[in-house]
Chains A and B, each alone.
Chain A
């Protein structure tokens, strides 16, 4: 049973364009909704995260949009740059145990 479904699996965007990655979840107990970024040969690193009491959070060119009723959240990368080329994971979590449930990842390539 896959609790978290991430889409698309891969994405190609032109420099300056908007990248959008989506994450659908089933567990309504999730109360933490992060996106992680992973470059080749490196471990994942937190990019941006949101709590369910807000519908949107923006940090620079990166925005999380959260739709509680649809059980979905998305990552928007504005003015995408070649340096944004990486794999992105959604990994919602719940409860005091601090476990994260990982999506399968989206490979983003930004063409110069």
Chain B
């Protein structure tokens, strides 16, 4: 069955370190998204991609970067982790074709920056 996976599921890092969160999907979806979820803020879009070599900034992109070298993967990098980036991170994907906007979510990565 197709799925979307994230790793690691939990991560503790120190302020200033570079951290990369992995996202891998086997849906063969063109669109991929990274969100962060914080209490009181819902889901906020960090970066998104509509295909290989395409990346776009979302509403809270400062301090984060992504790259898309293939269809299956969209890793999220925190260049220099800050305590404000402690959050739960979700990756999602959706199909470009058809009438559905449905996004399929991974299980999330809980990141703690100390």
User: Which residues on A are within 8 Å of B, measured CB to CB?
Assistant: 32, 34, 41-46, 49, 51, 89, 91, 93, 96-100, 102-105
Contacts and interface: CB of A to CB of B under 8 A. Distances in A.
B101 A34 contact: yes
Chain A interface SS verdict (over half): loop
23 contacts: A41-B108, A42-B107, A42-B108, A43-B106, A43-B107, A44-B105, A45-B105, A46-B103, A49-B101, A51-B99, A91-B43, A93-B101, A96-B96, A97-B50, A98-B94, A98-B95, A98-B96, A99-B45, A99-B48, A100-B103, A104-B41, A104-B42, A105-B42
B89 to A, nearest CB: 10
Contacts of A105: 42
Given A32-B101, A34-B102, A104-B40, A98 B31 contact: yes
Interface residues of B, number: 24
Contacts of B50: 97
B45 to A, nearest CB: 7
B37 to A, nearest CB: 9
A100 B31 CA distance: 12
B92 interface: yes
B90 interface: yes
A102 B106 contact: no
Given A98-B94, A103-B42, A43 B101 contact: no
Task: Please indicate which of the listed interface residues B41, B42, B101, B103 has the most CB atoms of chain A within 10 Å of its own CB.
Answer: B101
Contacts of B45: 99
Interface in B78-110: 90, 92, 94-96, 99-103, 105-108
